[in-house]
Amino acid sequence: MNRLAEIAKLAGVSAATVSRTLNRPELVAERTRVRVMNAVQATGFRPNELARSLRQQGSRSIGLVVTDLNPFHATLVKAVQDTAEQNDLNVILFTSDDSESREREALLTLRSHMPQGLILIPTAHTRQHQKLLQGLTVVELDRESGLTGTHTVQAQNRQGALEAVRHLTALGHRNIGAIFGQLHISTARARFEGYVQALQEAGIAYDETLVRYGNDLEASGRAAALSLLAEAARRPTALFVSNHEMTVGAIIALRSLNLKIPRDLSLASFDDSRLMLLHEPPISVVAQPTYELGKRACEVLVRALEGGEPQHLRLEAPFIPRGSTAPP
């Protein structure tokens, strides 16, 4: 006997009535409703979500695919999770590690769970997985893949980078090194454009020997910083690093070279954290509203599920000058 039928027997009604009481109580007579609810309370009954989702052709779950699980992503996940819970949704989490196969696997697995929708940090491979997104409400978070029909929630990456590098040029820096992610990732591209624009505004020629590209992980930031400081024809007096993990790598590199911030090199970076704040000196950063990004992504998804046009949110990412940036 299934659980629902048990309750039904206990309350002396049919299974359908129990189901109705739980899902559309207004259709049930008060007397009956009370009787059923008592039985439900007494047994601690919860309908089987699998059966319910199967029957309803859709679950109360949403997918969340992140590219990694560093502190930035953890905050995003927490925000999505909290917001989902408020909307009676639960989250199936995947990590793609920016890998094509893991992303595909995540999307395939997700689909087989009949999710309501999907919040996704897209990767370079997302476009080729377009078919797997068919029929799903998709919110792209943090980055954008260029796919049409999806919603997007991201920071004002270009503007943030622009302000950071403007700050450096205003301090008098002319040789400004920079480390970005791969330029086919929208965030890296936007931050790169902000960097270039700030140079232009200051009348500084763009010099490709001052720029390196990593993969957003710490090790690549370290390698990029070492390469930049060892090889650059003109040694930079300031460094702009476009994500948190690579900044950590850069800081480690600077220490190994025994360079003092900001005396030997000014450092400005993307993504605030307590590490950046407690560093000596504190690091000047572009502060993305991380929790807010995740929260809004989930809210956009919820609204989208109720129907509506694609939404495209861009949250402000203010630059916060701190002790790591000084005149050359």
Instruction: Name the site residues for a copy of itself (rule: CB under 8 A).
Output: 44, 46-51, 53-54, 59, 68-71, 73-75, 77-78, 81-82, 85, 90-95, 102, 105, 108-109, 111-114, 131, 218, 248, 251-252, 274-275, 278-280
Q: Please state, in angstroms and rounded to a whole number, the distance separating the CA atoms of residues 90 and 71.
A: 21
Residue 31 binds to DNA (criterion: CB under 7 A): yes
Pairing of strands 137-141, 61-66: unpaired
Provide, rounded to whole angstroms, the least separation between the CB of residue 157 and a copy of itself: 23
Residue with tokens 């259709």: 27
Provide, rounded to whole angstroms, the least separation between the CB of residue 10 and DNA: 12
Considering only the stretches 46-54, 184-192, 211-219, 272-280, report the one whose residues sit in contact with DNA under the rule CB under 7 A: 46-54
Nearest to 233 by CA among 258, 260, 252, 207: 207
Instruction: Decide whether 97 or 207 has the Cβ nearer to a copy of itself.
Output: 97
Residue 56 binds to DNA (criterion: CB under 7 A): yes
Residue 48 binds to DNA (criterion: CB under 7 A): yes
Residue 314 makes CB contacts below 8 A (sequence gap 6+) with: 154, 155, 156
Considering only the stretches 31-39, 74-82, 95-103, 229-237, report the one whose residues sit in contact with DNA under the rule CB under 7 A: 31-39
> Which helix (H) or strand (E) segment is 286 a member of?
strand 284-286
* 234 contact, one of a copy of itself, DNA, none, CB 5-8 Å limit per kind: none
Provide, rounded to whole angstroms, the least separation between the CB of residue 92 and a copy of itself: 6
Query: Contact at 8 Å (CB) between 210 and 179?
Result: no
Instruction: Decide whether 5 or 69 has the Cβ nearer to DNA.
Output: 5
Provide, rounded to whole angstroms, the least separation between the CB of residue 44 and DNA: 12
- DSSP 8-state symbol, 170: H
Residue 177, burial from CB neighbour count under 10 angstroms (0-12, 13-18, 19+): buried
Exactly one of 41, 44, 57, 307 binds DNA (CB under 7 A); that residue is: 57
Residue 22 binds to DNA (criterion: CB under 7 A): yes
| Touching DNA, residues 74-133 (CB under 7 A) | none
* 152 contact, one of DNA, a copy of itself, none, CB 5-8 Å limit per kind: none
Q: Please state, in angstroms and rounded to a whole number, the distance separating the CA atoms of residues 120 and 139.
A: 6
First vs last C-alpha separation in the chain: 78
Provide, rounded to whole angstroms, the least separation between the CB of residue 243 and DNA: 40
- DSSP 8-state symbol, 98: T
Q: How many Cβ atoms are within 10 Å of 43's Cβ, its own excluded?
A: 12
Residue 282 binds to DNA (criterion: CB under 7 A): no
Residue 289, burial from CB neighbour count under 10 angstroms (0-12, 13-18, 19+): middle
Residue 19 binds to DNA (criterion: CB under 7 A): yes
Residue 290, burial from CB neighbour count under 10 angstroms (0-12, 13-18, 19+): buried
Positions that interact with DNA (CB under 7 A): 1-5, 12-20, 22-24, 27-29, 31-33, 47-48, 51-52, 54-57
